[in-house]
Structure 1
Amino acid sequence: MNEIVTVIDIETTGLNPLTDHITEIAAIRAEVGPGGYIREIGRFQTYVALPDGVEVPKFITKLTGIKTEDLRGAPHPVSALISFDWFVGSSTVVAQNAPFDLSFLDRPEIDFEAESFACTRAMSRLIDPNENASLAPTCERYGITLNGHHRAMNDVEATLQLYAVLREKAEVNGITYRNVVVDSAERPLTYTPPGAIVRTITKTKEAV
C-alpha cells in the first residue's frame, strides 16, 4: 500500500535541544510504495538564524560544513519552523534518528506533533539487530549512495531511499515500526517522542 511521507533532517549546533540550536532544516515529501517505489512530491530546505551572540562550534563546522556566517540573514527559528510545520502537514514523518530530530521540534513556540512517524535507525535495529544502524553503514549495506553526509538534504535523500527498502523488509517480516523508537546500551534513549513505543534491543553478537 502506498503512503505519503515527509523525510526530514535537522542540523544543529549540538546534541542538547535545551541548550543547542537548529542551523538547517531539510525535508522531502514523497509517495512510497511496495517494491521500493518512490515518487517525489516536493522539497523544503532552509538555514535557520542563531540567537545573537551564538556561533556554530568549530567541530560542528568541520562535521557539517555550516559556518556562522552562512546563517546570517536566515529566517528566525519560529518562522522557519512554522513554514516547516506547514510543509509536513499531516503526513507520516520519517527521520534517520527520529528522537533527535523530534526533540528539537518539541518547542512551545510551535504546535508541531508527528502523530505518525518512522525512525529508520530503529527500523534498521529491528530488522538487523546486530548490525551498525548509523546512516552511512546502513546505506552502504543496502547499496544506497550517501554523498555529503551531515548536510541536511543529502541525508534526507539517502534516508528516503533507505526507508523505502526498510519499510518493505519490515512489512514482509511482520515487524512493527510505526512510532517505534529503540533504546540500547550503546545508544541510550535520551528523548521519547509523545506516543512513541520504546523497544529495548541488545546485540546477541559482535557486529562485523
Structure 2
Amino acid sequence: MEIKFYPDRYVVDDLYVPELHERLYCIFDLEGTGIHPEQESITQFGAMDYKRGQTRNSTFSSFSRASKPIPNAVAKLTGISNEDMITAPAFTEAFHAFSSFVGDKILVTHAGYEYDLPILKRHCEQFDVSMFTNKVLDTKAMFTYIHPEVREVISTDFLIQYYNINTVGIRRHDALADCGIIARILGQLLQEYDERGLDHFTADPTRFVRRFEIPEMYKITPNGGMPK
C-alpha cells in the first residue's frame, strides 16, 4: 500500500481487499501524547476482532510507556496520565503483544492512514522492530469512496452522526472503547457496500480523502508550547 499526502488530503494506491463480507478483521486504535504523528509518543494500544454478523469478545488493550510527558489537556481527554506511564510496558513489549493478537488478519482503523500507521512506523524504526505487513483498511477511505458527494472531513463524530450510532456510556479516546465505535462504523459500511453490490475494496489514486483538521487544543502556540 502506498499513501501520498498533500496539505489537506491524501490518496491511496496499491491496496486490494477482496471478499469484504466474509473476513475476520482486527480493528485497532492508538492513543498518544498528541496528534502530530511525526513527534508524538504512543501511550495505548487497543484492538478487537470483528466479523460481520457475529459477536466476538476477543480484545486487546495495553498501555505503552511514552518517551515524553503527556500534556495535561491530552491526559484529561484520554484519561491516560503520566502516572500510568510509570508502570506501563515499554513500546517493544506492548507492540509485540499487540502483533501477536493481530496475527495475519486484515486491519481496520479510522484516520489510521494519517495518524496510527505513521506514528507506529516511526516507533518501529526508532526501536528497531519490524512493522507488520498486514493490509489495512481505513473507514475514512471506505466511506469517501462510496460517498464522493460528501465534502466534510470524515471524522469519527461525523460518522457517528451520519449512521446514528449510540455512543452513550462509551468512554471516548480510550483505544479499546474507540475500537468498539469503529466496529459499529465498519458494520454500517459493509452493509452499504453489500447493498451496492460491492464485495471488495480497491484503492483508487484518483480519489482524494480529506485529512483531519487539527483541533485547537493541539495547535502549537507562537511560543512553541501547547495551548493551556
Q: Which category describes the TM-score, using the shorter chain as reference length?
A: 0.7 to 0.9
Alignment of 1:31-42 (within 5 A): 31-32=51-52, 37-42=53-58
Among candidates 162, 181, 187, match of residue 141 of structure 1 = 162
Tell me how far apart the structure 1 counterparts of residues 117 and 41 of structure 2 sit (CA, whole Å). Answer: 13
Q: Is contact 2:45–2:175 with CA below 8 Å preserved after alignment? A: yes
Moved more, 179-188 or 55-64: 179-188
Equivalent residue of 2:58, what SS? strand
Q: Which runs of 5+ in 1 are unaligned?
A: 189-208
Q: Deviations over 1:136-189 (max 9, x none)?
A: 22122212223222111111001011111102212432385356797446649x
Among candidates 92, 96, 101, match of residue 116 of structure 2 = 101
Between Structure 1 and Structure 2, how many residues are aligned?
Answer: 182
TM-score normalised per structure 1: 0.77
Percent of matched pairs sharing the same residue: 23
TM-score normalised per structure 2: 0.71
2:62 paired residue number:
46
Among candidates 114, 122, 132, match of residue 113 of structure 1 = 132
Q: Is contact 2:140–2:209 with CA below 8 Å preserved after alignment? A: no
- Does residue 1:11 correspond to 2:31, yes or no? yes
Alignment of 1:31-180 (within 5 A): 31-32=51-52, 37-51=53-67, 54-99=68-113, 100-106=115-121, 107-108=124-125, 109-129=128-148, 130=150, 131-146=152-167, 147-173=170-196, 174=198, 177=201
Equivalent residue of 1:38, what SS? coil
Q: Is contact 2:33–2:40 with CA below 8 Å preserved after alignment? A: yes
Tell me how far apart the structure 1 counterparts of residues 210 and 118 of structure 2 sit (CA, whole Å). Answer: 20
Amino acid paired to 1:103: P
Indicate the RMSD between aligned Cα atoms, in angstroms: 2.4
**Residues 1:186 and 1:98: Cα distance change in structure 2 (over 3 Å):** closer
Tell me how far apart the structure 2 counterparts of residues 104 and 47 of structure 1 sit (CA, whole Å). Answer: 15
C-alpha displacement of 1:20: 1.1
Tell me how far apart the structure 2 counterparts of residues 160 and 178 of structure 1 sit (CA, whole Å). Answer: 20
Q: Deviations over 1:37-94 (max 9, x none)?
A: 133151100111123xx21012211321211112211110011001101110100000
Q: Is contact 1:116–1:178 with CA below 8 Å preserved after alignment? A: no
Divergent runs of 4+, >3 A: 174-188
**Residues 1:134 and 1:18: Cα distance change in structure 2 (over 3 Å):** closer
**Residues 1:186 and 1:42: Cα distance change in structure 2 (over 3 Å):** closer
Q: Which runs of 5+ in 2 are unaligned?
A: 1-20, 214-228
